[in-house]
């Protein structure tokens, strides 16, 4: 899905910024993946050092959505690697934003998907299947709700209650 520049969205929608209907995430995310610009409706996950439901979710049709994973900010292991990034691309996900780490960075960077994460770690996650789907998650200085819209480019990440236009 094509995306308008986040700076332009901020300039055009200042009323939404002031009302809190549009929020800019803190600049804590590194850019990974071949697609640096992506947008779409949000699906949320809340996990801690366990990526079983990450895989289960990415095995479903993405239909241009963005998976937002609250990994609790853990840097102790990766929640996404090259195989899952390729799966996300194959299943039609627009992007993935992780309050946690990735691994297989070189593979992810050649995959046609947009990814943001707080860092990388070569250690894979646990496989217990513990986590929550479609719940509000807190990351980047804001709460993100399932069904909101996410816009990402080299300038940053925006969350909006509704799809934005310029």
The answer to the question of whether 20 is labelled as a binding residue is no
In a domain, 10, yes or no: yes
> Does residue 24 belong to any structural domain of this protein?
yes
| HSE value, Cβ hemisphere, 13 Å, CA-based, for 121 | 19
Per the domain annotation, does 166 fall within a domain? no
- Residue 156 labeled ligand binder: no
CB neighbour burial string for 4-28, b if at least 16 within 10 angstroms, e if fewer: bebeebbeebeebbeeeebbbbeee
Would the annotation count 81 as a binding residue? yes
Question: What pLDDT is attached to residue 1?
Answer: 43
Asked whether residue 1 is domain-assigned, the answer is: no
Q: How many domains does the chain have?
A: 1
Query: Using CA atoms, how far apart are residues 83 and 90, in angstroms rounded to an integer?
Result: 10
pLDDT at 35 over 70: yes
Please report whether residue 165 resides in a domain. Answer: no
What's the average model confidence in pLDDT over 75-98? Answer: 98
User: Is residue 20 a part of any domain in this protein?
Assistant: yes
As a 3-state breakdown, the chain gives helix, strand, coil percent values, each rounded to 5, of 20, 35, 45
Domain range enclosing 85: 6-160
Residue 104, annotated as binding a ligand: yes
Per-residue pLDDT reduced to its tens digit, 51-68: 999 999 999 999 999 999
- CATH number for the domain spanning 26: value is 3.50.30.40
């Amino acid at each position: 899905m094509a995306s308008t520049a986040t700076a332009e969205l901020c300039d055009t929608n200042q009323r939404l910024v002031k009302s809190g209907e549009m929020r800019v995430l803190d600049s804590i995310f590194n850019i990974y993946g071949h697609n640096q610009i992506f947008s779409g409706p949000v699906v949320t996950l809340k996990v801690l050092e366990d990526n079983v439901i990450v895989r289960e979710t990415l095995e479903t049709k993405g239909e241009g959505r963005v998976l937002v994973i609250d990994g609790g900010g853990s840097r102790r292991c990766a929640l996404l690697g090259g195989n899952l990034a390729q799966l996300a691309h194959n299943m039609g996900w627009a992007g993935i934003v992780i309050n946690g780490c990735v691994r297989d960075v070189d593979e992810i960077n050649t995959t046609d998907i947009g990814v943001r994460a707080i860092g990388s770690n070569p250690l894979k996650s646990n496989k217990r299947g513990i986590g929550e789907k479609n719940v509000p998650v807190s990351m980047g200085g804001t709460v993100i709700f399932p069904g909101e819209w996410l816009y990402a480019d080299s300038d940053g990440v925006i969350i909006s209650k509704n799809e934005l236009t310029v």
